[in-house]
Structure 1
Amino acid sequence: MKRLIRFAGLVLLAVIVAVALGTLVPRPLFQSGEAGQGPLRRILVLTNPIHTDIAVPIDDDLLERFGFLREAGLPVDLSEARYLVFGWGSRAFYIGTPTWSELSAGPVFRALTLDNSAMHVEVAGDIPEPNPAVAAYEIGEAGFQRLLAFIEQGFRQGANGPELIQGAAYGDYDAFFEANGYFNALVGCNTWTAGALRAAGLQTGWWNPLPVTLGYSLRLHN
Protein backbone atom coordinates (compact mmCIF):
# COMPACT_ATOMS: atom_id res chain seq x y z
CA MET A 1 0.00 0.00 0.00
CA LYS A 2 2.84 2.40 0.85
CA ARG A 3 4.43 1.74 -2.53
CA LEU A 4 1.12 2.41 -4.24
CA ILE A 5 0.68 5.68 -2.35
CA ARG A 6 4.27 6.68 -3.14
CA PHE A 7 3.76 5.88 -6.84
CA ALA A 8 0.51 7.86 -6.95
CA GLY A 9 2.29 10.78 -5.30
CA LEU A 10 5.08 10.69 -7.87
CA VAL A 11 2.57 10.59 -10.72
CA LEU A 12 0.69 13.57 -9.26
CA LEU A 13 3.94 15.48 -8.83
CA ALA A 14 4.94 14.73 -12.41
CA VAL A 15 1.59 16.01 -13.68
CA ILE A 16 1.90 19.21 -11.62
CA VAL A 17 5.44 19.84 -12.91
CA ALA A 18 4.37 19.13 -16.51
CA VAL A 19 1.42 21.53 -16.27
CA ALA A 20 3.57 24.22 -14.63
CA LEU A 21 6.35 23.95 -17.21
CA GLY A 22 3.80 23.66 -20.00
CA THR A 23 2.36 27.00 -18.90
CA LEU A 24 5.56 28.90 -18.12
CA VAL A 25 7.69 27.79 -21.08
CA PRO A 26 6.55 29.76 -24.16
CA ARG A 27 5.81 28.19 -27.50
CA PRO A 28 7.35 29.27 -29.77
CA LEU A 29 10.29 30.19 -27.58
CA PHE A 30 10.76 33.57 -29.23
CA GLN A 31 8.01 36.01 -30.16
CA SER A 32 8.26 37.30 -33.73
CA GLY A 33 6.23 40.43 -32.97
CA GLU A 34 4.09 39.79 -36.03
CA ALA A 35 0.86 39.43 -34.05
CA GLY A 36 0.77 43.15 -33.29
CA GLN A 37 1.51 44.41 -36.80
CA GLY A 38 -1.26 46.20 -38.66
CA PRO A 39 -3.76 46.18 -40.09
CA LEU A 40 -5.13 44.32 -37.10
CA ARG A 41 -7.96 41.79 -36.83
CA ARG A 42 -9.71 41.20 -33.51
CA ILE A 43 -10.59 37.70 -32.34
CA LEU A 44 -12.02 36.39 -29.07
CA VAL A 45 -11.16 33.35 -26.98
CA LEU A 46 -14.19 32.08 -25.06
CA THR A 47 -13.65 30.00 -21.94
CA ASN A 48 -15.69 27.76 -19.68
CA PRO A 49 -14.31 25.55 -16.88
CA ILE A 50 -13.12 22.79 -19.25
CA HIS A 51 -13.25 24.12 -22.81
CA THR A 52 -12.16 27.00 -25.04
CA ASP A 53 -13.51 28.29 -28.37
CA ILE A 54 -12.37 30.91 -30.85
CA ALA A 55 -14.84 33.56 -32.02
CA VAL A 56 -14.14 35.18 -35.39
CA PRO A 57 -16.05 38.32 -36.49
CA ILE A 58 -18.39 37.70 -39.41
CA ASP A 59 -17.75 39.49 -42.69
CA ASP A 60 -18.39 38.68 -46.34
CA ASP A 61 -14.97 37.10 -46.86
CA LEU A 62 -15.43 34.80 -43.86
CA LEU A 63 -18.87 33.67 -45.05
CA GLU A 64 -17.52 32.99 -48.52
CA ARG A 65 -14.60 30.99 -47.14
CA PHE A 66 -16.87 28.91 -44.90
CA GLY A 67 -19.76 28.76 -47.35
CA PHE A 68 -20.48 25.14 -46.42
CA LEU A 69 -21.91 26.39 -43.12
CA ARG A 70 -24.80 28.05 -44.93
CA GLU A 71 -25.32 24.90 -46.97
CA ALA A 72 -25.44 22.92 -43.71
CA GLY A 73 -28.32 25.06 -42.50
CA LEU A 74 -26.55 27.42 -40.12
CA PRO A 75 -28.23 30.86 -40.06
CA VAL A 76 -25.05 32.79 -40.86
CA ASP A 77 -26.96 35.56 -42.67
CA LEU A 78 -29.02 36.72 -39.71
CA SER A 79 -28.77 40.48 -39.21
CA GLU A 80 -27.96 39.85 -35.53
CA ALA A 81 -25.06 37.49 -36.32
CA ARG A 82 -21.70 38.90 -35.28
CA TYR A 83 -19.37 35.93 -34.80
CA LEU A 84 -18.68 32.41 -35.94
CA VAL A 85 -17.48 30.44 -32.92
CA PHE A 86 -15.23 27.45 -33.64
CA GLY A 87 -14.20 24.63 -31.32
CA TRP A 88 -12.64 21.17 -31.63
CA GLY A 89 -13.20 18.37 -29.16
CA SER A 90 -14.10 14.81 -28.21
CA ARG A 91 -16.90 13.61 -30.48
CA ALA A 92 -18.60 11.52 -27.79
CA PHE A 93 -18.31 14.12 -25.03
CA TYR A 94 -19.05 17.13 -27.24
CA ILE A 95 -22.23 15.71 -28.73
CA GLY A 96 -23.34 13.65 -25.74
CA THR A 97 -23.05 16.42 -23.14
CA PRO A 98 -25.00 19.49 -24.25
CA THR A 99 -25.47 20.49 -20.57
CA TRP A 100 -23.74 19.50 -17.33
CA SER A 101 -26.94 17.82 -16.16
CA GLU A 102 -26.53 15.33 -19.03
CA LEU A 103 -23.01 14.31 -18.06
CA SER A 104 -22.55 10.53 -18.16
CA ALA A 105 -19.73 8.07 -17.66
CA GLY A 106 -19.43 6.82 -21.26
CA PRO A 107 -18.50 10.13 -22.94
CA VAL A 108 -16.19 11.05 -20.06
CA PHE A 109 -14.34 7.73 -20.39
CA ARG A 110 -13.96 8.19 -24.15
CA ALA A 111 -12.64 11.73 -23.68
CA LEU A 112 -10.09 10.64 -21.09
CA THR A 113 -8.80 7.74 -23.18
CA LEU A 114 -9.14 8.06 -26.96
CA ASP A 115 -12.00 9.35 -29.06
CA ASN A 116 -12.77 10.58 -32.55
CA SER A 117 -13.03 14.34 -32.80
CA ALA A 118 -15.66 16.81 -33.94
CA MET A 119 -15.72 20.44 -34.98
CA HIS A 120 -18.43 22.58 -33.42
CA VAL A 121 -19.55 25.82 -35.08
CA GLU A 122 -21.98 28.30 -33.57
CA VAL A 123 -23.45 31.53 -34.90
CA ALA A 124 -23.30 34.14 -32.13
CA GLY A 125 -24.57 37.67 -31.70
CA ASP A 126 -22.82 40.38 -29.71
CA ILE A 127 -20.41 38.97 -27.12
CA PRO A 128 -20.15 41.38 -24.17
CA GLU A 129 -16.76 42.67 -23.10
CA PRO A 130 -15.16 42.91 -20.62
CA ASN A 131 -16.06 39.46 -19.35
CA PRO A 132 -13.95 37.00 -17.32
CA ALA A 133 -14.87 34.28 -19.84
CA VAL A 134 -13.84 36.38 -22.86
CA ALA A 135 -10.33 37.42 -23.92
CA ALA A 136 -9.70 39.59 -26.98
CA TYR A 137 -6.54 39.54 -29.12
CA GLU A 138 -5.43 41.74 -31.98
CA ILE A 139 -3.56 39.88 -34.70
CA GLY A 140 -2.10 40.89 -38.03
CA GLU A 141 -3.73 40.06 -41.35
CA ALA A 142 -1.21 37.34 -42.21
CA GLY A 143 -1.77 35.69 -38.85
CA PHE A 144 -5.52 36.00 -39.25
CA GLN A 145 -5.39 34.14 -42.56
CA ARG A 146 -3.22 31.41 -41.01
CA LEU A 147 -5.75 31.11 -38.18
CA LEU A 148 -8.58 30.58 -40.66
CA ALA A 149 -6.48 28.01 -42.54
CA PHE A 150 -5.80 26.17 -39.25
CA ILE A 151 -9.53 26.10 -38.48
CA GLU A 152 -10.35 24.86 -41.99
CA GLN A 153 -7.87 22.02 -41.58
CA GLY A 154 -9.81 20.83 -38.54
CA PHE A 155 -12.78 19.81 -40.70
CA ARG A 156 -12.66 16.32 -42.19
CA GLN A 157 -13.34 16.43 -45.90
CA GLY A 158 -15.74 14.04 -47.57
CA ALA A 159 -16.70 13.71 -51.20
CA ASN A 160 -18.76 16.92 -51.01
CA GLY A 161 -16.68 18.88 -48.53
CA PRO A 162 -16.86 19.00 -44.71
CA GLU A 163 -19.05 16.22 -43.30
CA LEU A 164 -22.00 17.43 -41.26
CA ILE A 165 -22.99 15.22 -38.31
CA GLN A 166 -26.75 15.02 -38.79
CA GLY A 167 -28.97 15.68 -35.80
CA ALA A 168 -26.13 16.53 -33.43
CA ALA A 169 -26.73 20.25 -32.88
CA TYR A 170 -27.53 21.77 -29.49
CA GLY A 171 -30.07 24.15 -31.05
CA ASP A 172 -30.93 26.22 -34.12
CA TYR A 173 -27.69 28.20 -34.23
CA ASP A 174 -24.98 25.55 -34.18
CA ALA A 175 -23.80 22.40 -35.92
CA PHE A 176 -21.24 19.61 -35.55
CA PHE A 177 -18.92 18.32 -38.26
CA GLU A 178 -16.56 15.37 -38.44
CA ALA A 179 -13.02 16.48 -37.62
CA ASN A 180 -9.44 15.47 -38.25
CA GLY A 181 -7.36 14.03 -35.43
CA TYR A 182 -8.05 12.06 -32.28
CA PHE A 183 -8.96 13.46 -28.89
CA ASN A 184 -7.46 12.35 -25.57
CA ALA A 185 -6.73 13.82 -22.17
CA LEU A 186 -3.25 15.00 -23.26
CA VAL A 187 -4.19 16.37 -26.68
CA GLY A 188 -7.60 17.93 -26.25
CA CYS A 189 -9.74 20.92 -27.06
CA ASN A 190 -7.53 23.44 -25.31
CA THR A 191 -4.35 22.24 -26.99
CA TRP A 192 -6.21 22.64 -30.31
CA THR A 193 -7.13 26.22 -29.39
CA ALA A 194 -3.52 26.87 -28.41
CA GLY A 195 -2.33 25.54 -31.76
CA ALA A 196 -4.77 27.80 -33.59
CA LEU A 197 -3.57 30.85 -31.66
CA ARG A 198 0.07 30.02 -32.37
CA ALA A 199 -0.81 29.82 -36.06
CA ALA A 200 -2.21 33.35 -35.64
CA GLY A 201 1.16 34.55 -34.35
CA LEU A 202 0.51 34.48 -30.60
CA GLN A 203 2.59 32.70 -27.99
CA THR A 204 1.04 30.11 -25.71
CA GLY A 205 2.51 27.80 -23.11
CA TRP A 206 4.27 24.70 -24.40
CA TRP A 207 1.40 22.42 -23.27
CA ASN A 208 -1.96 23.75 -22.11
CA PRO A 209 -4.55 21.01 -21.49
CA LEU A 210 -6.73 23.26 -19.30
CA PRO A 211 -8.46 26.59 -20.03
CA VAL A 212 -6.94 28.18 -16.93
CA THR A 213 -3.37 27.31 -17.95
CA LEU A 214 -3.96 28.41 -21.54
CA GLY A 215 -5.42 31.73 -20.38
CA TYR A 216 -2.55 32.35 -17.97
CA SER A 217 0.06 31.51 -20.60
CA LEU A 218 -1.57 33.88 -23.12
CA ARG A 219 -1.50 36.71 -20.61
CA LEU A 220 2.05 35.89 -19.59
CA HIS A 221 3.65 35.57 -23.02
CA ASN A 222 1.74 38.16 -25.07
Structure 2
Amino acid sequence: MGRAARLAKWLGGLLAALLVSLALGTLVPRPLTSPAAASFGSGSQILLLANPIHTDIALPLDDEVRAAFADLIPAGLPIDMPGIEYLIIGWGGRSFYIETPTWGDIRPLPVLRALTIDRSVLHASVAGAIDRSHPAVRPLDVTGEGRSRMIAAIRASFVRENGEPVPIPGAVYGFDDAFFEAEGSFNAFVGCNTWTASMLRSSGVRTGWWTPLPQMLDLSIDLHHGA
Protein backbone atom coordinates (compact mmCIF):
# COMPACT_ATOMS: atom_id res chain seq x y z
CA MET A 1 0.00 0.00 0.00
CA GLY A 2 1.45 3.34 -1.04
CA ARG A 3 1.90 6.37 1.22
CA ALA A 4 -1.04 8.22 -0.36
CA ALA A 5 -3.31 5.22 0.11
CA ARG A 6 -2.27 4.84 3.76
CA LEU A 7 -2.89 8.53 4.36
CA ALA A 8 -6.32 8.32 2.71
CA LYS A 9 -7.20 5.29 4.82
CA TRP A 10 -6.06 7.05 8.00
CA LEU A 11 -8.03 10.19 7.17
CA GLY A 12 -11.09 8.09 6.32
CA GLY A 13 -10.86 6.31 9.67
CA LEU A 14 -10.44 9.59 11.49
CA LEU A 15 -13.49 11.08 9.75
CA ALA A 16 -15.57 7.99 10.53
CA ALA A 17 -14.55 8.13 14.20
CA LEU A 18 -15.44 11.81 14.35
CA LEU A 19 -18.86 11.23 12.78
CA VAL A 20 -19.59 8.39 15.21
CA SER A 21 -18.49 10.59 18.13
CA LEU A 22 -20.72 13.43 16.98
CA ALA A 23 -23.69 11.10 16.63
CA LEU A 24 -23.16 9.46 20.01
CA GLY A 25 -22.53 12.83 21.62
CA THR A 26 -25.99 13.93 20.54
CA LEU A 27 -27.88 10.65 21.02
CA VAL A 28 -26.48 9.67 24.42
CA PRO A 29 -28.11 11.80 27.13
CA ARG A 30 -26.26 13.53 29.93
CA PRO A 31 -27.12 12.71 32.64
CA LEU A 32 -28.01 9.19 31.58
CA THR A 33 -31.13 9.12 33.74
CA SER A 34 -33.77 11.82 33.65
CA PRO A 35 -33.89 14.20 36.66
CA ALA A 36 -36.46 13.19 39.26
CA ALA A 37 -38.45 16.42 38.88
CA ALA A 38 -39.36 17.78 35.46
CA SER A 39 -38.37 21.39 34.85
CA PHE A 40 -41.15 22.33 32.45
CA GLY A 41 -43.64 25.00 33.36
CA SER A 42 -42.26 26.06 36.72
CA GLY A 43 -39.94 28.72 38.04
CA SER A 44 -38.78 30.91 35.19
CA GLN A 45 -37.54 30.93 31.61
CA ILE A 46 -34.00 31.27 30.40
CA LEU A 47 -33.08 31.77 26.75
CA LEU A 48 -30.62 29.81 24.65
CA LEU A 49 -29.25 32.08 21.90
CA ALA A 50 -27.49 30.55 18.91
CA ASN A 51 -25.71 31.44 15.70
CA PRO A 52 -24.15 28.87 13.32
CA ILE A 53 -21.10 28.25 15.56
CA HIS A 54 -21.77 29.71 19.00
CA THR A 55 -24.34 29.72 21.82
CA ASP A 56 -25.03 32.10 24.70
CA ILE A 57 -27.35 32.00 27.70
CA ALA A 58 -29.67 34.95 28.37
CA LEU A 59 -30.88 35.39 31.94
CA PRO A 60 -33.87 37.65 32.65
CA LEU A 61 -32.62 40.47 34.84
CA ASP A 62 -34.49 40.21 38.13
CA ASP A 63 -33.28 40.94 41.65
CA GLU A 64 -31.49 37.58 41.97
CA VAL A 65 -29.52 38.00 38.74
CA ARG A 66 -28.69 41.65 39.47
CA ALA A 67 -27.37 40.73 42.91
CA ALA A 68 -25.39 37.73 41.64
CA PHE A 69 -23.66 39.68 38.87
CA ALA A 70 -23.36 43.11 40.46
CA ASP A 71 -19.59 42.56 40.55
CA LEU A 72 -19.51 42.89 36.75
CA ILE A 73 -20.67 46.52 36.88
CA PRO A 74 -17.23 48.01 37.76
CA ALA A 75 -15.92 46.61 34.45
CA GLY A 76 -18.42 48.82 32.62
CA LEU A 77 -21.26 46.35 32.14
CA PRO A 78 -24.44 48.46 32.53
CA ILE A 79 -26.60 45.89 34.33
CA ASP A 80 -28.28 48.67 36.29
CA MET A 81 -29.12 50.82 33.22
CA PRO A 82 -32.86 51.48 32.68
CA GLY A 83 -34.45 49.38 29.95
CA ILE A 84 -32.10 46.42 30.35
CA GLU A 85 -34.03 43.13 30.50
CA TYR A 86 -31.41 40.42 29.98
CA LEU A 87 -27.86 39.52 30.97
CA ILE A 88 -26.23 37.44 28.21
CA ILE A 89 -23.24 35.22 29.04
CA GLY A 90 -21.02 33.15 26.77
CA TRP A 91 -17.68 31.33 27.09
CA GLY A 92 -15.08 30.91 24.37
CA GLY A 93 -11.50 31.03 23.13
CA ARG A 94 -9.72 34.27 23.93
CA SER A 95 -8.26 35.06 20.50
CA PHE A 96 -11.25 34.20 18.30
CA TYR A 97 -13.89 35.53 20.70
CA ILE A 98 -12.29 38.91 21.34
CA GLU A 99 -10.94 39.54 17.84
CA THR A 100 -14.02 38.44 15.88
CA PRO A 101 -17.00 40.64 16.77
CA THR A 102 -18.54 40.05 13.30
CA TRP A 103 -18.19 37.50 10.50
CA GLY A 104 -16.29 40.12 8.52
CA ASP A 105 -13.57 40.18 11.17
CA ILE A 106 -12.57 36.51 10.77
CA ARG A 107 -8.79 36.10 10.36
CA PRO A 108 -6.59 32.98 10.05
CA LEU A 109 -4.67 33.17 13.36
CA PRO A 110 -7.71 33.40 15.67
CA VAL A 111 -9.34 30.57 13.71
CA LEU A 112 -6.20 28.44 14.11
CA ARG A 113 -6.15 29.05 17.84
CA ALA A 114 -9.85 28.18 18.06
CA LEU A 115 -9.11 24.86 16.36
CA THR A 116 -6.20 24.04 18.68
CA ILE A 117 -5.86 25.32 22.26
CA ASP A 118 -6.40 28.82 23.59
CA ARG A 119 -7.03 30.57 26.88
CA SER A 120 -10.69 31.02 27.67
CA VAL A 121 -12.74 34.13 28.32
CA LEU A 122 -16.30 34.96 29.33
CA HIS A 123 -18.26 37.54 27.39
CA ALA A 124 -21.03 39.35 29.23
CA SER A 125 -23.47 41.74 27.57
CA VAL A 126 -26.87 43.22 28.26
CA ALA A 127 -29.95 43.54 26.11
CA GLY A 128 -33.44 44.96 26.12
CA ALA A 129 -36.41 42.94 24.95
CA ILE A 130 -35.57 39.74 23.04
CA ASP A 131 -38.01 38.28 20.53
CA ARG A 132 -38.59 34.77 21.89
CA SER A 133 -40.13 33.66 18.59
CA HIS A 134 -36.93 34.35 16.63
CA PRO A 135 -35.38 31.18 15.13
CA ALA A 136 -32.09 31.85 16.94
CA VAL A 137 -33.81 32.06 20.34
CA ARG A 138 -34.94 29.03 22.35
CA PRO A 139 -36.84 29.60 25.61
CA LEU A 140 -36.31 26.92 28.25
CA ASP A 141 -38.38 26.54 31.40
CA VAL A 142 -36.42 25.79 34.55
CA THR A 143 -37.25 25.68 38.22
CA GLY A 144 -36.20 28.52 40.48
CA GLU A 145 -33.78 26.16 42.21
CA GLY A 146 -32.37 25.08 38.86
CA ARG A 147 -31.80 28.65 37.76
CA SER A 148 -30.01 29.40 41.03
CA ARG A 149 -27.71 26.43 40.40
CA MET A 150 -27.01 27.75 36.90
CA ILE A 151 -26.20 31.21 38.25
CA ALA A 152 -23.74 29.64 40.71
CA ALA A 153 -22.14 27.58 37.93
CA ILE A 154 -21.74 30.63 35.70
CA ARG A 155 -20.20 32.62 38.55
CA ALA A 156 -17.77 29.77 39.18
CA SER A 157 -16.59 30.06 35.56
CA PHE A 158 -15.03 33.48 36.24
CA VAL A 159 -11.39 33.72 37.27
CA ARG A 160 -11.30 35.81 40.44
CA GLU A 161 -8.70 37.92 42.20
CA ASN A 162 -9.51 38.88 45.77
CA GLY A 163 -12.99 37.50 45.13
CA GLU A 164 -13.66 39.77 42.13
CA PRO A 165 -13.96 38.84 38.44
CA VAL A 166 -10.99 39.88 36.30
CA PRO A 167 -11.95 42.11 33.33
CA ILE A 168 -9.80 42.16 30.19
CA PRO A 169 -8.86 45.82 29.56
CA GLY A 170 -9.95 47.20 26.21
CA ALA A 171 -11.71 44.00 25.15
CA VAL A 172 -15.23 45.10 24.21
CA TYR A 173 -17.52 45.04 21.20
CA GLY A 174 -19.43 48.17 22.24
CA PHE A 175 -20.78 50.11 25.21
CA ASP A 176 -22.95 47.28 26.54
CA ASP A 177 -20.49 44.41 27.00
CA ALA A 178 -17.25 43.31 28.65
CA PHE A 179 -14.84 40.38 28.54
CA PHE A 180 -13.50 38.59 31.62
CA GLU A 181 -10.84 35.99 32.33
CA ALA A 182 -12.41 32.54 32.56
CA GLU A 183 -11.63 29.19 34.09
CA GLY A 184 -10.52 26.38 31.80
CA SER A 185 -8.83 26.14 28.42
CA PHE A 186 -10.63 26.32 25.09
CA ASN A 187 -10.17 23.84 22.25
CA ALA A 188 -12.17 22.40 19.38
CA PHE A 189 -13.42 19.51 21.54
CA VAL A 190 -14.20 21.45 24.72
CA GLY A 191 -15.56 24.72 23.37
CA CYS A 192 -18.23 27.32 23.80
CA ASN A 193 -21.15 25.00 23.15
CA THR A 194 -19.97 22.31 25.56
CA TRP A 195 -19.72 25.03 28.22
CA THR A 196 -23.25 26.18 27.43
CA ALA A 197 -24.47 22.58 27.68
CA SER A 198 -22.78 22.23 31.07
CA MET A 199 -24.48 25.37 32.35
CA LEU A 200 -27.84 24.15 31.05
CA ARG A 201 -27.39 20.81 32.80
CA SER A 202 -26.68 22.59 36.06
CA SER A 203 -30.19 24.07 35.79
CA GLY A 204 -31.81 20.70 35.10
CA VAL A 205 -31.91 20.85 31.30
CA ARG A 206 -30.84 17.46 29.93
CA THR A 207 -28.51 17.58 26.91
CA GLY A 208 -26.42 15.23 24.81
CA TRP A 209 -23.14 13.91 26.20
CA TRP A 210 -20.93 15.93 23.82
CA THR A 211 -22.36 18.78 21.78
CA PRO A 212 -19.58 20.90 20.20
CA LEU A 213 -21.95 22.53 17.68
CA PRO A 214 -25.09 24.60 18.34
CA GLN A 215 -27.16 22.37 16.07
CA MET A 216 -26.16 19.29 18.08
CA LEU A 217 -26.97 20.98 21.37
CA ASP A 218 -30.38 22.06 20.09
CA LEU A 219 -31.19 18.58 18.75
CA SER A 220 -30.03 16.91 21.96
CA ILE A 221 -32.38 19.11 23.99
CA ASP A 222 -35.22 18.06 21.68
CA LEU A 223 -34.30 14.42 22.26
CA HIS A 224 -33.59 14.34 25.97
CA HIS A 225 -34.97 17.29 27.93
CA GLY A 226 -38.13 16.19 29.69
CA ALA A 227 -37.79 12.65 28.32
Secondary structure of 1:23's aligned partner = helix
Q: Once the two structures are superposed, what CA deviation does each residue of 1:4-63 show, in whole Å capped at 9, x if it has no partner?
A: 111111111110000000000100011114342674111000000100000000012211
Tell which deviates more after alignment, 186-195 or 104-113.
104-113
Whether the 8 Å contact between 1:118 and 1:176 is mirrored in structure 2 is: yes
Whether the 8 Å contact between 1:43 and 1:137 is mirrored in structure 2 is: yes
> Does 1:180 find its partner at 2:173?
no
5+ residue gaps, structure 2, are none
Whether the 8 Å contact between 1:34 and 1:140 is mirrored in structure 2 is: no
Q: Once the two structures are superposed, what CA deviation does each residue of 1:121-163 show, in whole Å capped at 9, x if it has no partner?
A: 0101111021111111111111111100110011000135100
Over the aligned positions, Cα root-mean-square deviation in angstroms equals 1.2
> Does 1:12 find its partner at 2:15?
yes
5+ residue gaps, structure 1, are none
1:137 pairs with 123, 137, 140, which one?
140
- Quick one: which amino acid aligns to residue 7 of structure 2? L
Whether the 8 Å contact between 1:52 and 1:189 is mirrored in structure 2 is: yes
> Does 1:215 find its partner at 2:218?
yes
Q: Mapping of 1:107-186 within 5 angstroms? A: 107-159=110-162, 161-186=164-189
Distance, in Å, in 1 between the alignment partners of 2:220 and 2:105 is 31
- Quick one: which amino acid aligns to residue 46 of structure 1? L
| Residue of structure 2 equivalent to 1:46 | 49
Q: Percent identity?
A: 50
- Quick one: which amino acid aligns to residue 69 of structure 1? L
- Quick one: which amino acid aligns to residue 197 of structure 1? L
Whether the 8 Å contact between 1:35 and 1:143 is mirrored in structure 2 is: no
Q: Which runs of 4+ in 1 moved over 4 A?
A: none
Distance, in Å, in 1 between the alignment partners of 2:69 and 2:161 is 15
Distance, in Å, in 2 between the alignment partners of 1:134 and 1:38 is 18
| Residue of structure 2 equivalent to 1:70 | 73
